[in-house]
Each structure stands twice: as structure tokens, then as C-alpha cells.
Structure 1
């Protein structure tokens, strides 16, 4: 709450002289009017002041297909006419692989062999890239069993290409009390982009981009970029290249930079120098739960501006566009390291980077992770995996990235690590570093196929690096959890970045970003890729994640790559910001229009899953009294 007061007071002081009216993208300028509504009451606007969850204006459950209150075919058709034909009722793509009226062997073969080498899955209006949260009722497999059913996929999708589309969808869902979901590219590992019996707002095609050579708001003076919420990272990079600038964008090329990635924080290669994605936002275009389109910035709708930047997506409104800070071109220099633990051999000497003693291997892993604190303090980034192999073997890979360093400078920076590894009797030399590359180099968007990955994560703070006892406890937890991957088919993933409040700058340092990010050293994850989902498997993960939590008391987790079953998720994903965010949620969305698992206020509702698996969105959404 204190942050909100500071932000409002600061806005009152500065707005009179320095705030500029945000530029309007074409898609933001096309809006729903009262004339459009006419006598179609189902798409009329709402009034937040006339409703509350407590006064009985909200039903016990969202209306579900088959219910008497479910809209008629004519009502859906009239909504489609209002939308100019943007209402879709698509079938699951994988239905092509199932015997029945939608079976298509050629299409099925394409999906299984070539679709992931194209933009196919990103352009699919239904699919989220994690199948378990949908209920796995129509998984993409080569030998499907049973029938393909809709499961947790939405009933209808609005292919939004302007604000009017989003406003009409929000109003229709609110007035008809239908579950509403928001989907962009489908990079969703927690079930926030799908939902049975829902109407989906698909923001994927809000692709406008505008370069602003000189932008001024509050104390900010500099370049900026106005981005539609459907713009993907590879598109941002091409835009950067065209205009000779840099924008903080997702590391995965097909993730949207202005949607859920930003709303939960958004880390990437350059966040130790420039801050998180949420820290870059200067202004937002938002459709609220009442169906109104508003601008949110440090001086206007300050509660939304605070909450959306780090307080979780699909919660307070639907972001249509954002004005981001832009920087001069940035060069990236990277250095790779790979260690392997193998079984001893009586016939050959281990090669470079190969270790035959487990304790030595883990000392080498720990040496890199401890050294990585220096990389982060220099504004760099680390990206690592620990993979279990056959016969109790391991492979550790990592890449360290430096901003603005020459290859020689990066080589010299890394040399002390290799001196330490030599002292541990690990035979590996500092590798020659390839030439630097431009952050913002041109790329293409190629999306992965749907899978079953489930993330469990922890943000490990700098205190664990600075205290020897905590450090040893941290490495014991990582080792124990990683070794459990042999028998349980999971692996460890650690990204290292340090987006402090200092690098966040203004207005990023007055946002709803999880405070745990400001103290972060490592975003530590256990990656579950096994297709079987069960309470017993969840218990295994809780056991090993518990070790990481115990080693970092009071820290948190990253919602975008966190577990929807995270214990005490309010504290883990939002920290001390949760109470103030809940106030914003209740004020801006008293109807409960926006709901997704582990978002602010979501404890007031639950999915009555038909498959019984925690986190599944295959079921009716109902109030929790």
C-alpha cells in the first residue's frame, strides 16, 4: 500500500509539467462505442461501483456449456457480427490424429514431424504448450488412445486485432457470467491460458510496433518503442535491428514481450544491467473488467500501472499495448562451460571437462555458481542445466553472457574460475571466446510442439552466496534434488540474473514486481517433463523443492516458471505486495471477470476438475465461500 501512496504522490507532483499523452496505435484507436452496443445488452459496459463479490451480484459458478443460462446460438452469432467475424470455434489441432470425423493422416504426420519447425503452434488459437493443464484430453501423440475431446480448451476464441474486439469479449463474458481467459503465444506452464467452458481473448495478432525517437514522461527522457501485446521477441529483435536500438525482450524468441512475460516480471539476458521486462514500461493500454479502455502510466490509473507491472497477468485487465524504454545497441559476448561426471575407466584418461569422482564434479558445479555472482555484479547473465544420465552420470552445461565486453575482456574475466577448477583437479581450460554478437540481431519465430513440462522454482537470494553456511546448504539442496532426477525423470535448470531495484530505475523500482527478484542470484528450477501426472509425483517434487525452500527462507518464486501447486503461493509469487495487489483486484474487478490459477484473488474461486489433477483447468470454475 505504501508503494501506491508514493506512486500517486509522485505522479501528482510531476504530471503537470512532464507527462506526455501516450501515442495511439491503430489497434488501440478502434474501440467499442455505445452506438455499437445498441440494444445488445450482452455487450454493454459495466460499473465497478455498483457491484461487489459480497453483495450477491456474482453467481456461485461461471455459466458452463449445457447450462440453461449458456448463450444461445443466436447470441453467439450476434456477438460475432459485432466482432466483424472475429469469433472462432476451432477444433483441437491434434484431432487430426484421432480416428473419427476429423482424422487426417497427412495433417497428423505434419503435426508430429514438421509443425514444431514452423510457426504453426504459435498461430493456433487453442493450444497452450503444456498439455497436462488442459487435461490431456487430446494430446499430440503418434499412437493416440481413446477419443479427442475439448477438455480444458475454450469453447470460443475472439481473434482480437483491435481494442473493440477485446471490449466486446470482456463485456459479453462479464454480463453472461462466462469464464474469460487470455492467451497470447501459448507459452504457458501453469494453466493460465486455457479453461473449460470459457471464452478466450487471443491477443496474438496485436502486432503493431512504433519507434519513438524522443519520449518524455516524468524524469524519463529517451528513446521508446510502442508495442502491441501480441509482438513476439523475434519480432522485437527485427524491430531493434531496423531502428538500431535495444529493448529488453524475452530470451525465447516466440514469447510475447508485452503479455504475461512482462506482467509477472520477465527476465532475460540483459536484466542484470537494465532490469526486468516489467521495469521497462512507461505506459500501458488496458481494457478493464468493466470493458473500458484506459491508459495506465505513472500519473493516470496509477493503481493499474503499479499492479500490472509484475503483479501477474490476466488479473486486473487485458493489456493491449505498452510503451517501453529503448536503449542504444548492445553487444553480447558469451563463454561456455561444460562438465561431465562419468564412470571411471581402467583403459583411458578422462578428457577435458570429464570428472570421474562425484564430489569433485559437484565442487566444480558449485565453483561456477559461486563465481557467477561476479558475472551478475558485472551486469551479466548465466544459463545452466544439470542433466542426469545413465549409470549415475551427469552433464553440467552453462553459458555466461557479458554486455559490452570484448572477447578478450570476457576471457580474462572468466580465467579465475578456471584457476579454481584446476585447483580442484578438473582438467579444463578457458575456451577461446567467439566474436561478440548484437543483442537485437534478426531472427525468425519457430515454435516448439506442445509438451508436458511442469516447472517448480525458487528465487535464491544473494544472501546465500555471501554466507558460507547458507551457500553449503544451498549446494547440498541442489545436489540432492538433481541426484533424485535419476529415479524420477527430472532435471535441474538454473538461470542467474540480478535485476536489483537500482538497475530497475524509474518507474520500475515502484512496481509490483516480486521483491524476491530484487535480491535474486539464481532462478532455480526442477523441470518435470514426464507425461504421468499424479498426486504421488507431486509429493516427490514437493519433497525436493522443500530443500530449496528451506535453504532460502522468506524468498520467493517466479510465477511464469513456477508451480501452480506452489505452497503459500501468495507469498512466494508476490511477497509483501500481495495485500496491496488484492485491493487493486477487488476494486477493478469486483465481478471476478479475470481469473487464472495463482493470480491475485484467485483463492476466491476453484476449478472443479473432472480429472482430479491439481492444476488442471478441465472443469467448471466456481466460487469458494
Structure 2
């Protein structure tokens, strides 16, 4: 019996050893003994269409200080240009995600401010990668990463508020040049009957929204997409997979509500078409289950809509009298159900000293827009006697969506800045007649450091069956997304960053107390969420995890706070076995 027991232990140990050998606990990183050899990379090079890329931090050309390695003047001139950044594989739109903080608090970074005297280091930027130009390039890259057990970072434009498209010592798959665009007024999804057609645009994963908008504008159409100056956000990547909100979501829904078909390469290297009839489970997960999680998107087909005139309402008021701003904000909150019902969408910011908003009305007129806001404007005029200053109040109409888009003001987050954010989805129920005053009062108490206020819910967003996509069902009950963040200067110490993160966490707790159990937008949230499964995915998490296990059982595609990420530790490089 003892011999049999010993044999059992020996077999068990051998099995565990075999499992560990076939499925290592940790990914292979640059600098590890397992990192692919020069010969291995030469073999990969022979299978792809472009030379391998070696991403570097954005400011690297300004170093060494004694003899800069590149055109530092060009970098200084374009530092805040999101489109320019998108064309550089090592650049992140939010620059702190190019840096890496070690456990001991030291920071590896490459600062634009060369007077800090810090060396230029690789930080969080992947060290080598593939500039994918075809399905074949992506398949070869994925298979190479699997065979060498590499940590993979999928990057398109780097317009990423949580740094999920970069990872220290990793292998980059850059999809920015998968940029084919096709417009088809009678697009038929694969597997659908010939009678099922859509007026659609198919965009490669590297297409920027600006190019997509221009394409459909030539056909007298528009589509639901990201709204950022210069259009530096990718049209078929993380924006979509996280949900994809837009100024015109109250009219036509979120990005996930406008997708017809998605083509992607899975962790097994398979090129699949996911739609309502083929791989429908994966199609469900891709629409809201989070970017960087399901595979490498090759292209996406979106339905388009007839273009329309757009009326803007821009307003900015300030006061040193906090009570005055609070009264104005309360009235602003009150009218939101009516604004959403009219299909208004847009963005605002509130502090204890100011209220600023830029809202847009499709198919509107100046008269209709002004009438919708008359209670706010009238109150503002009355409050001037109590110290309110109306800095701006403007209304104007553009003849088409594209004309509107080309003229939107530069508001919100600045490309090339330093930022960490958090968000909460604010349920429509809070805006009811018997709720809004108490809700506005509570939220205003935490608005001193500025809270972003995005009217991107309600309307068409709320009319979609919550179970029809993998998106957090909280979106279907919400009217507004509240966003807030922290910023610091280059060269800040870890203790300074930690202090600011603590402040962010306090605000998160305060807003959560006002809206218990509220969801958050995966693309505009915090990597330090206390309960990310519930906050980002809600009741859909378990189904999403099951689909994740089916299509990516080894966890090749893992991102911060994404589906399955709780099974990984040490910066998502090693599996958790406890």
C-alpha cells in the first residue's frame, strides 16, 4: 500500500510538472532566458509583410541630451497632437501609460521635460512587435506569441485611458495600418438571407473615426462613433468593444448597438466572422465585453444613418458663490430626462465654481434648442444679481453631422497629457421629479475638483434589450456618465502619485455612496476598481467568462480589469494558482 501511495505521489508530481511545462505559469518577458532568439525573430520576419518594429517612448528622440538621437523639435511641436501620436507605435495618448512604476516605487520613464535630468528608459512600452498589414500578418504574430508564451499588447492608436494597449517587456501587435474602408449600401452579413441588407461601412481596425466619417459623409450618411478633436480614436477596436458612446447615442444607440459584423483572429490563430448567425456567442461578447480580451479585430461593419442638421448649445457660467452654482446645477439636472427624450447629447463639467456644457441636438433648430434650455438660461440671468457671471451662451446650427464634427470645440481631455480617471453610470431614476434635488445636492458636494458629465445614455440606448449584447446592463438604465480624474506633472514621485490616487479613490467612494452598485464604463474607468467584475460587466460577467474560456483558454489576451484578469497577478504576467 505504501508503495502504491508513493507511486501515486510520483505520478501526481509528474503530472503537475508536465502541466507546468506545457502551460507555464508566467509569460515570457524580454530579458527572460525564454525570450525568443534572434533566429526565432528572423523566422517570424519571414512570415510577415513588414519589418519588425522596435517601439520607443515618444520623447526618446530627445535623448541622450548631449546628442539627441532624432528630431526633438518635431516631437515638441506635436506632443499634444493625437493623430501624430497614433502614427507612432510607442506613443500612448495618455503619457503616464508609457511609464512603469516598480514595486519599490521607482519609475521607468522617458520625459519630454529633459531638464528633469532623468534618463530616458523604455518604461511600459513594448520592446518589439509586428506592424500588421493583413490577416496573415496577424495570424503569424498570434501563433508566434502562443508558441513562445509571450505577453501580448494589442495596440491601434493608443487612445487609451487605462493603458491596456501597452505592457512592460511585452510583444506588440500593432493594428494601426489595417485601415481599409468599404462603403456598401446593400451590405449582407455572412450567413444571412439575401433579403437582409444594411446601408453599412466596413472599417479595418486601424481606421480613425475622422476617415470613417468623411467616407460616409460623401454618401450623405453618418454613423455612431467616437467624438474627439482630430478623430484620433480607432473606429474598430477598444472603443467598440467597451461599448462605444457618442454625442448621438441618445438618438441611435451606442457603438455596440450599431455593429452588424466583426471579423477577428482568435488566440488559436483562426480567422472568424462573428455576427448574429455565425459565432453569435462571440459576437455577443465582443459588443461590450472589453477590448484586448477576445482576439485581434480585423474589421467591423457598422450600419450608417442619414445625415442631419445639428444644433449646438454652448454655455459657461462661473461664480465665487458656491450656492449660486449649486442652484444652477440643480436646474440643469432637472431638465435631463426631457433633453434625452429630445435626443440631445453632449458633455459638461461641474465644479463648485462653474458649470460648463456643450450639448447638441440632431435635426434641431436654434429656437428648439434655446427653448429646451430656457429654464437654465432664465435662472442664470436671474442669478447674475447674486454673483453669477455668464461667460458664454451660444447657439448655432450646422447643416450636417460631418460639418458639425469638423467644427466641434477642443474640450475635454488633452492628447499627450497625464491622467487617471474613474467613472460611474448615473441611472435615469435619479433624475425623477422626487429624486433629482437630493441627487444633485449630494453629487455637488463631491464636484469641487471637477466632474465630467456626459449625456450619452437614455433615449435609444435605454430601448435596447439589456441581454442582446455583452455590455453591462447598467448602461440600459443610465442617463449620464459621470467622469473624474487626477493629473500630475512629469517627474512626480511615486508618493505624490499615490497621494493623488488616494484622492481619486475617495471621490470614487463618495460617488458610489450616492449611487450604490452603479456600473462604470470599461473604456473610461479605473484600474483600481474595488469590484471590477460587477462594476464593468454586471450580471453578464459569468457568461462572458465562459465565452472567454472557450475562445482563449490559455489567456493570451488579458488586460487590466478585463474578463479573466483576476486569474493573473504580477502586472498580469503570471497566473494565480491560489
Return the offset for 1:221.
4.3
Residue equivalent to 1:345: none
Tell me, in whole angstroms, the C-alpha distance in 2 between the residues paired with 1:149 and 1:502.
44
Tell me, in whole angstroms, the C-alpha distance in 2 between the residues paired with 1:363 and 1:162.
56
Residue equivalent to 1:232: 208
Tell me, in whole angstroms, the C-alpha distance in 1 between the residues paired with 2:369 and 2:43.
61
**Could you say if the C-alpha distance between residues 114 and 312 of structure 1 is closer, same or farther in structure 2, counting changes exceeding 3 Å?**
closer
Q: What are the Cα deviations for residues 42-90 of structure 1, in whole angstroms up to 9, with x where unaligned?
A: xxxxxxxxxx9x9654211111222221110111121112113342113
Residue equivalent to 2:153: 181
Residue equivalent to 1:406: 365
Q: Is 1:68 matched up with 2:46?
A: no
**Could you say if the C-alpha distance between residues 80 and 383 of structure 1 is closer, same or farther in structure 2, counting changes exceeding 3 Å?**
same
Q: Which residue of 586, 597, 621 corresponds with 2:560?
A: 597
Which range is displaced more, 89-98 or 573-582? 89-98
Residue equivalent to 1:614: none
Q: Is 1:523 matched up with 2:495?
A: no
Residue equivalent to 1:460: 426
Instruction: Please give the TM-score of this superposition, normalised by the length of structure 2.
Output: 0.86
Q: Which residue of 55, 70, 73 corresponds with 1:90?
A: 55
Mark the runs of 5 or more structure 1 residues left unpaired by the alignment: 1-51, 343-356, 389-393, 486-490, 609-619
Q: Is the 8 A contact 1:418 1:430 kept in 2?
A: no
Q: Is the 8 A contact 1:285 1:320 kept in 2?
A: yes
Return the offset for 1:553.
1.5
Tell me, in whole angstroms, the C-alpha distance in 1 between the residues paired with 2:200 and 2:259.
10
Q: Which residue of 512, 517, 537 corresponds with 1:574?
A: 537
Residue equivalent to 2:13: none
Q: Is 1:588 matched up with 2:551?
A: yes
Tell me, in whole angstroms, the C-alpha distance in 1 between the residues paired with 2:30 and 2:355.
49
**Could you say if the C-alpha distance between residues 480 and 502 of structure 1 is closer, same or farther in structure 2, counting changes exceeding 3 Å?**
closer
Residue equivalent to 1:621: 573
Residue equivalent to 1:130: 94
**Could you say if the C-alpha distance between residues 261 and 482 of structure 1 is closer, same or farther in structure 2, counting changes exceeding 3 Å?**
same
**Could you say if the C-alpha distance between residues 170 and 457 of structure 1 is closer, same or farther in structure 2, counting changes exceeding 3 Å?**
same
Q: Is 1:215 matched up with 2:187?
A: yes
Return the offset for 1:428.
5.7
Residue equivalent to 1:58: 23
Return the offset for 1:268.
0.8
1:386-535 equivalence runs, <5 A: 386=350, 394-422=353-381, 431=393, 433-441=395-403, 443=406, 449-466=415-432, 468-469=434-435, 471-483=436-448, 485=449, 491-499=450-458, 510-531=468-489, 532=492, 534-535=497-498
**Could you say if the C-alpha distance between residues 522 and 305 of structure 1 is closer, same or farther in structure 2, counting changes exceeding 3 Å?**
same
Residue equivalent to 2:311: 333
Tell me, in whole angstroms, the C-alpha distance in 1 between the residues paired with 2:390 and 2:526.
36
Tell me, in whole angstroms, the C-alpha distance in 2 between the residues paired with 1:464 and 1:290.
45
**Could you say if the C-alpha distance between residues 422 and 100 of structure 1 is closer, same or farther in structure 2, counting changes exceeding 3 Å?**
closer
Residue equivalent to 1:368: 332
Which range is displaced more, 94-103 or 515-524? 94-103
Q: What are the Cα deviations for residues 221-272 of structure 1, in whole angstroms up to 9, with x where unaligned?
A: 4311111111111111211222211111100121112110000001111100
Return the offset for 1:440.
2.3
Q: What are the Cα deviations for residues 278-308 of structure 1, in whole angstroms up to 9, with x where unaligned?
A: 1111111010000110000001011110001
Residue equivalent to 1:194: 166
For the residue of structure 1 that corresponds to 2:446, the secondary structure is helix
**Could you say if the C-alpha distance between residues 114 and 315 of structure 1 is closer, same or farther in structure 2, counting changes exceeding 3 Å?**
closer
Tell me, in whole angstroms, the C-alpha distance in 1 between the residues paired with 2:127 and 2:547.
29
Tell me, in whole angstroms, the C-alpha distance in 2 between the residues paired with 1:557 and 1:399.
22
For the residue of structure 2 that corresponds to 1:227, the secondary structure is strand
Tell me, in whole angstroms, the C-alpha distance in 2 between the residues paired with 1:290 and 1:419.
61
Q: Is the 8 A contact 2:317 2:391 kept in 1?
A: no
Q: Is the 8 A contact 2:244 2:256 kept in 1?
A: yes
For the residue of structure 1 that corresponds to 2:221, the secondary structure is coil
Q: What are the Cα deviations for residues 330-375 of structure 1, in whole angstroms up to 9, with x where unaligned?
A: 2211111111013xxxxxxxxxxxxxx2112111022112212211
**Could you say if the C-alpha distance between residues 220 and 412 of structure 1 is closer, same or farther in structure 2, counting changes exceeding 3 Å?**
farther
**Could you say if the C-alpha distance between residues 300 and 365 of structure 1 is closer, same or farther in structure 2, counting changes exceeding 3 Å?**
same
Q: Is the 8 A contact 2:243 2:288 kept in 1?
A: yes
Q: Is 1:378 matched up with 2:350?
A: no
Tell me, in whole angstroms, the C-alpha distance in 1 between the residues paired with 2:208 and 2:46.
29
Tell me, in whole angstroms, the C-alpha distance in 2 between the residues paired with 1:574 and 1:453.
23
Structure possessing the higher relative contact order (Cα contacts under 8 Å, 6 or more residues apart): 1
**Could you say if the C-alpha distance between residues 432 and 565 of structure 1 is closer, same or farther in structure 2, counting changes exceeding 3 Å?**
closer
Return the offset for 1:102.
6.7
Tell me, in whole angstroms, the C-alpha distance in 2 between the residues paired with 1:246 and 1:269.
12
Mark the runs of 5 or more structure 2 residues left unpaired by the alignment: 1-15, 101-107
| Alignment coverage as a number of residue pairs | 534
Tell me, in whole angstroms, the C-alpha distance in 2 between the residues paired with 1:200 and 1:102.
28
Residue equivalent to 2:46: 81
Tell me, in whole angstroms, the C-alpha distance in 1 between the residues paired with 2:458 and 2:255.
10
**Could you say if the C-alpha distance between residues 246 and 622 of structure 1 is closer, same or farther in structure 2, counting changes exceeding 3 Å?**
same
Return the offset for 1:560.
0.7
Tell me, in whole angstroms, the C-alpha distance in 2 between the residues paired with 1:430 and 1:194.
40
**Alignment RMSD:** 2.7
Q: Is 1:322 matched up with 2:300?
A: yes
